[in-house]
Amino acid sequence: MPTSHALICRTKIVATLGPASSDYETIRDLAVAGADVFRFNFSHGTHEDHAARHAIVRRVEAELGEPIGILADMQGPKLRVGVFANGKVTLKPGASFRFDLSSVPGDETRVCLPHPEIIAVAKPGSRLLMDDGKLAVVVKDVGPDWLETTVDVGGVLSNHKGVNVPDVALPIPALTEKDRRDLAFALDLGVDYVALSFVQRPEDVSEARTLVGERANLLVKLEKPQAIDNLEAILDLTDAVMVARGDLGVELPPENVPLVQKRIIRLARRLGKPVVVATQMLESMISSPTPTRAEASDVATAVFDGADAVMLSAESAAGQYPREAVRIMNRIIWRIEQDAEWQSMMARARLAPEDYVADAIAGAAQQVADTLKAPAIVAYTHRGATAFRIARERPSCPILGITPTHEAGRRMALVWGVRAFVNEGRQVTNVEDMVDSALDVVRRARIGSSGNSIVIAAGVPFGVSGSTNTLRVAKIP
């Protein structure tokens, strides 16, 4: 991120914008403090709100001089109970409780569940979780328009609380009509990543891909057990992935979430797809200027696991200390990345190159850079793919991605270890131009010293996407 950062880290930070972070000064401060990508949460706010934030982010980007990514997070289908005559009821363990399609306000014995799709697929033994998993019922009988359940975990259930159904795949599309309107707006706005919520099956991703096309990169949020069952097929279809531990932690036993997180990160790394770890990373900083030690360890674990990015949600969107949250997250990442054990773990976790030229070049770039103790690998990339592949190798030096387009530069903002530089209007037509441009970017990045060797990866002919086939070593004069 911008050279004005006190600490430039390999692991990126995604910061959610919201009521606490919508003005120019705050957004600029968050970028300077370490935010590489800003998340727009389409579950909240109007299109006008998001357009205003988009304009500010692009203004900050122009001022700081390096690309900033924007992630538009679609809401996805929201499953909720209806309303109660008195606004809420108390469910007692062992009691019977019915869900039905009647719009009559509920009481202690029943409530409307305005989702016939749930009733259609639920079976005796299926669990329904309410209010982020605080309450749980087990289905004991199913009718044409009702579910009879037994309360397993009781408590207060109030109007419009959310419902999770972890045991069955629901016949509900990942994109609602609201999402389709939001998606069209976000793409016209010019966002860099679109996050898809409530993914259960590969077909959900294919549908979104058709709508998004090449206008943005697609990021899948993994928050349903059914998505984990289809993990590799889903990751094959997406450009990036998020471990969305909020809903995932509701629908899976808590003890399973860390293992699933590690599994997702490993597979995303193998496939060369950026992976974001999200939800409750510094949750206490919504109301406290410092995190708990457990939260600091949580961030550190994601960095040790090799995640491309970690994310702040309410901490930066609605909390009292958005700037402090980004600064502290940046400091935690920096401290871990200076640790010899972290560096050793990254080296041990490197993967064998796959059997094609671009991957062989990426692997060789990392090996040559390590051998020469190069201060940087420079990757010429038309759409970002070369930088993505080199990042998969987790080299010990920074990756400087040179691209002719702002769009590719912004997409690289999410990728581990990559700093993007847009060479708009500068044509590279031969090897001499390539070396001169790479050395110019190294100087701009203030990396290395006279006599150091840098490693350059590019494709010949120049300017052709997907043609990475050349490795070059050049000395800094």
329-338 pLDDT, tens digit each: 999 999 999 9
Convert the pLDDT of each residue in 267-282 to its tens digit.
999 999 999 999 999 9
**Of 472, 347, 328, 468, residue with least CA distance to 397:** 347
Domain limits, the chain: 12-77+174-338, 88-164, 350-475
11, 149, 238, 279: which is the annotated catalytic residue?
A: 279
For residue 378, list its beta bridge partners. Answer: 400, 456
Convert the pLDDT of each residue in 183-212 to its tens digit.
999 999 999 999 999 999 999 999 999 999
Q: Are 419 and 69 in contact (CB under 8 A)?
A: no
Single-letter amino acid, residue 367:
Q
Catalytic (active site) residue 80: yes
Predicted pLDDT of residue 277 = 98
Predicted pLDDT of residue 289 = 97
CA distance 134 to 15: 27
Single-letter amino acid, residue 15:
A
For residue 219, list its beta bridge partners. Answer: 195, 240
26, 58, 78, 80: which is the annotated catalytic residue?
A: 80
Predicted pLDDT of residue 425 = 66
Q: What are phi and psi of 173, to 5 degrees?
A: -70, 150
Catalytic (active site) residue 279: yes
Q: Report the predicted TM-score, pTM, of the whole model to 2 decimal places.
A: 0.93
Convert the pLDDT of each residue in 215-266 to its tens digit.
999 999 999 999 999 999 999 999 999 999 988 889 898 899 999 999 999 9
For residue 149, list its beta bridge partners. Answer: 97, 139
10, 28, 39, 410: which is the annotated catalytic residue?
A: 39
Instruction: Copy the structure tokens of residue 274.
Output: 């950026």
Q: Which CATH number fits domain 350-475: 3.40.50.300, 1.10.150.110, 3.40.1380.20, 3.80.30.20?
A: 3.40.1380.20
Whether the predicted pLDDT of 422 surpasses 80? yes
Q: Give the percent of the chain with pLDDT over 70.
A: 97
Whether the predicted pLDDT of 460 surpasses 80? no
Catalytic (active site) residue 39: yes
**CATH number, domain 12-77+174-338:** 3.20.20.60
Q: Which fold has domain 88-164?
A: M1 Pyruvate Kinase; Domain 3 (2.40.33)
12, 28, 110, 221: which is the annotated catalytic residue?
A: 221
CA distance 347 to 342: 9
Same fold, 12-77+174-338 and 350-475: no
Which stretches of 23-169 are assigned E, i.e. beta strand?
A: 37-41, 69-73, 88-91, 96-100, 110-112, 127-130, 135-142, 146-153, 155-158, 163-164
Count Cα atoms within 13 angstroms, Cβ side, for 293.
0
What DSSP state is assigned to residue 37?
Answer: E
CA distance 417 to 202: 29
What average pLDDT does this structure show over 393-405? 94
Predicted pLDDT of residue 82 = 97
Work out the pLDDT band at 378, boundaries 50, 70, 90. very high
What average pLDDT does this structure show over 451-464? 85
